[in-house]
Structures are given as structure tokens and as C-alpha cells.
Structure 1
Amino acid sequence: MVSLKQVETMIQAKLPDAQVFVKDLTGGGDHLEATVVSSEFEGKTKVIQHQMVYGAVASAMADESIHALALKTYTPETWQQAGQPV
């Protein structure tokens, strides 16, 4: 099993400027939700943004440490428009 902090670290390794918030959806540690805010998402579709994040955690998903990962991705601008602090 992978910790929430490890998932955060994996994502930040690929997206160094990212703000990452990871939570366990079921209490079992393998169904997670990550909210990722990164300027590297600028000009990219949601599909590409999600592929970038999935690429960062691919090893944990391949060995099934993470069974499911729900994603919410934002640029700093869309994060702020959503009413979240920058």
C-alpha cells in the first residue's frame, strides 16, 4: 500500500510546482482522490492534464498499490475561479 504522502510526492516529482491534496475515499488506502493545481496544465485539455498525473503515479497503479484514483485538476487561475485560495 502507498501512503497519501507518497502519492503527493510522486505527483510533485513530475509537476514540481503542483499543489497536491490527496484523500482516501474508502479507508482502505487504495481508492484515492487527488486534487492537483499546476501551472503546467495551462493550455491543456482535462484529458491531457489527467494523463500527466496518471503518468506520475503509474508505478503505484501498475502494482495495484492504487486501485482507483479520482482526479480533479486545475490551473492556478481555474483554482482561484473555483473560489479556492492560491
Structure 2
Amino acid sequence: MALDKGVILELLRKAFDGAEIELVDYAGDNDHYELKIKHKSFEGMSRLRQHKMVYSALGRYVGNELHAISIKSSAG
């Protein structure tokens, strides 16, 4: 199973209102993505904590419909 890019963007926009988000399906299979996300809530957080927040926003899809996602996060 694969996960449509639109679903991922919707989940991220809901969790990180006003974030700058760039999502690329780098394998062209709706299963392997590269995410760049910049949001003010990441200020002062470790990279690990930022990524945990992203994974939390994606919920049950991670490891299931969403096979792989590379995350580059920063504070906005």
C-alpha cells in the first residue's frame, strides 16, 4: 500500500499550521518521500524531538502505508 502525497500534506498542515513544507516523492511510487519542514514550534528543540513530532503527526501511516520518509526540519 502507498500513501498519497496529498494525505501527507494535509496531516502536516493540520499539525503544523503555517509551516513551510516541501514534500518530494523521490522514487515516484507514493511510498518514499523526502520532507523539508520549517515551523516555529521547533524552536529550541533537538532534531530528534522535531522528528518525533512529525512522526506523531503522521500517526499510524508511518511504517504502514508510508514506507519511508526522510525528514529535514528546522525552526521558522
Q: Same fold (TM over 0.5)?
A: yes
Count of equivalent residues: 75
Separation of aligned partners in 1, 2:13 and 2:40: 12
Given residue 27 of structure 1, which amino acid in structure 2 is its aligned partner? G
Between the two structures, name the one with larger relative contact order (CA 8 Å, sep ≥ 6): 2
1:9 paired with 2:19, answer: no
The match for 1:71 is 71
| Structure 1 residue ranges (4+ consecutive) displaced by more than 2 angstroms after TM superposition | none
The match for 2:21 is 20
Q: CA RMSD in A?
A: 1.2
Offset of residue 20 of structure 1: 1.2
The match for 1:40 is 41
Which ranges of structure 2 fall in alignment gaps of 5 or more residues? none
Separation of aligned partners in 2, 1:17 and 1:39: 9
Offset of residue 17 of structure 1: 2.1
From the CA coordinates, give the structure whose radius of gyration is larger.
1
Which ranges of structure 1 fall in alignment gaps of 5 or more residues? 77-86
